[in-house]
Structure 1
């Protein structure tokens, strides 16, 4: 069969273009390190990679949420520890007051109790870095506790937040509360306020049974508040442990995903190097063959 010069030229150009294109695509893969440059290169692997990438994005968001949540819980725990210490100090003073000391000693106890009352009120209304009240439930713009000086002693403090929980997504279908509420703090503040008023009364009588009753009521309120705060601190500690375990699980899943993504999407450089040599040799051979054949004529075979 006779092959015209034009046909031969077209065939050789197509062969060299194909080799050049394959070599350029391979070099692009080697440059990027990606086995797949387009979904059509391996549709099944591309779909799996997309799913893994979506899962990785979700895991990354979960880890960020866990980090922010752990930070918030640690701050809550620190403040609750401070509140717990203030309540214990108040309980020690009230215990001493319950032992019927001299009137002057009773009156002297009013000053540290007043300081502790103010410290408890301030701590309960702590704000975060963004100016939101930390212990007001789902009402961060409202102070957890309010004070009304117009009310009589024993009812001036009130809880103005709510007990709703602010949930944070930390896993697939898993949420965790990021806040703590102090709905029981108003009671101890009112009892301390009432007792302080008694101790500051110029006509204070250490033998008056109503004075002893107020002190006992404040002690009972302190015990109840301390029990509630201790319970919340224990819950925060348990939650922190859960968050650490969950973060570790997310890390393990993420590591497995990344290993799978590497197998599916990363280029095998050893195999790519062999292919590159093959394409280069084929291209060089085509060029040499074309050069030699293009120099031939019918006179060479006569």
Structure 2
């Protein structure tokens, strides 16, 4: 076999360059300890490294999300804590206002302080975060959660949307606490009412308050099923209660239908409702004859319905009044979460459950009768003629819940009413005070529940942060084991490659010196 001179030189040069390249690569690996630089170095390892780097990027994003959620929750918790402290002071004022030694001036002073606390709460409940977004508006961060209505009441404008961020592979946590959860779910203790039905004109002898719900479950399960009730006073020491079916249910009332007419703070407890009872006999009265025949209707407060025009309406027509005209139809079909009354022409309308979407279907349809639209048992009185396309947002107040601002406003109003020389006014005030104290306690509990919920999410964040950190450490170790090389192995390989390169160079020099002339 013959080897040409050019073939010898080319082969030797290629071998030398390959060996030199291996030495350079190994030298670089020995200096920085990196084994896998490209997929060509280790295709399987490079693929695994890519997966690990993607996981590490996700863990870094989770870490950032955890920081954002923790900061947001901390701001909400601090604000709720401040609200709780204000409510504590409101409760102190409410309790002190029931002092028998207080005068109208004392109660007026408490009312003035309540006004300041009400403004402070209104400001706190409309707090913003460091980004200028409202804390308690849900997903509507640019909308103030609470507005003051023309009648002095307050309405929630936010929604129930939770802004969730993913903090782990299988865990997303809300970064906000909505005003709906923190303030709108406080149970309202003023959900019942009484109406004197006999005698036709109140003679002031028997005063029975609207009542305060002391047991919400009993009220919903037992009281609501038998209303309306008729409370009949049989004598100056006895009464009876008849349900809507005319069944005698007196035995379910406190003391089985007996009472002390001389008690300063008499009361009747019935199916989760506590009512204040005050008997005021007039000079010369025969007690039994004077009290017998007084009758009251007792029931839960009817739902209050209100409508407001949509901003895009082309007419200025308003909903002046809304009343339940057919209780059965109302109970059967009117949406409890609110509705939208939309006019398809100047006289024809449709009623939808809120919110109205492209896929919504009307619950009820009808035609105006004069200026009255009747849908699902509710009659809406309009101020004028609507245009086609006009719509009205309908809200339903079931009195199940009441926000703390309305509670404080009602208490402030009650404290401002003079009662020093009016026993009946004082009796009404005490009933209002009972309701306010109960509602304040309910609001305080709701705020505390929100703070506890935030604390629970904070604890979950801590656990997830530790989990993510452990995953990150293991990820770094695995990447290191794949990407980095063993120093001893690298140095051994470098020595061997260097020796081979030197041997190749020496062999090349000796072979290159051979010539046929040397043998002639």
TM-score (norm 2): 0.54
Higher strand share: 2
Aligned residues: 297
Counterpart for residue 174 of structure 1 = 171
Structure-1 residue corresponding to 2:198: none
CA–CA separation in structure 2 for the residues paired with 1:140 and 1:131: 8
1:225 aligns with 2:446: no
Q: C-alpha displacement at 1:237, in angstroms?
A: 0.9
Shift of 1:175: 1.4
- SS state of the match for residue 403, structure 2? helix
- Name the CA distance, whole Å, in 2 between partners of 1:236 and 1:295: 86
TM-score by length of 1: 0.90
Query: d(CA) in 2 for partners of 1:188 and 1:235?
Result: 19
Greater shift in the superposed pair: 88-97 or 98-107: 98-107
**Aligned equivalents of 2:470, 2:457: Cα separation in 1:** 20
Match of residue 256 from structure 1: 474
Q: Secondary structure at the match of 2:131?
A: coil
Runs of 5+ in structure 1 lacking a partner?
none
| Secondary structure, aligned partner of 2:40 | helix
Alignment check: 8 A CA contact 2:165 2:172 kept: yes
Q: 2:405 aligns with which of 189, 198, 213?
A: 189
CA RMSD of aligned residues (A): 2.0
- Equivalent residue, structure 1, for 2:85: 85
Alignment of 1:55-204 (within 5 A): 55-100=55-100, 101-148=102-149, 150-151=150-151, 153=152, 156-183=153-180, 184=183, 187-201=403-417, 203=418
Shift of 1:248: 0.7
Cα offsets for 1:257-292 (capped at 9, x unmatched): 211111111122221222222222222222222223
User: Does the 8 A contact of 1:49 with 1:261 survive in 2?
Assistant: yes
Which structure shows the bigger proportion of residues in helix conformation?
A: 1
Is 2:504 the counterpart of 1:286?
yes
Between 1:68-77 and 1:38-47, the stretch displaced more is: 38-47
Confirm or deny: 8 A CA contact 1:29 1:36 kept in the other structure.
no
CA distance, structure 2, for counterparts of residue 179 and residue 160 of structure 1: 16
For residues 300 and 130 of structure 1, what CA distance do their matches in structure 2 show? 91
Q: Distance in 2 between matches of 1:205 and 1:227?
A: 33
Name 1:39's counterpart in structure 2: 39
Q: What are the ranges of 5 or more consecutive residues in structure 2 without an aligned counterpart?
A: 185-401
Mapped to 2, the partners of 1:273 and 1:61 lie a distance apart of 39
The answer to whether structure 1 residue 275 and structure 2 residue 493 are counterparts is: yes
Tell me, in whole angstroms, the C-alpha distance in 2 between the residues paired with 1:96 and 1:182: 29
Is 1:246 aligned to residue 464 of structure 2?
A: yes
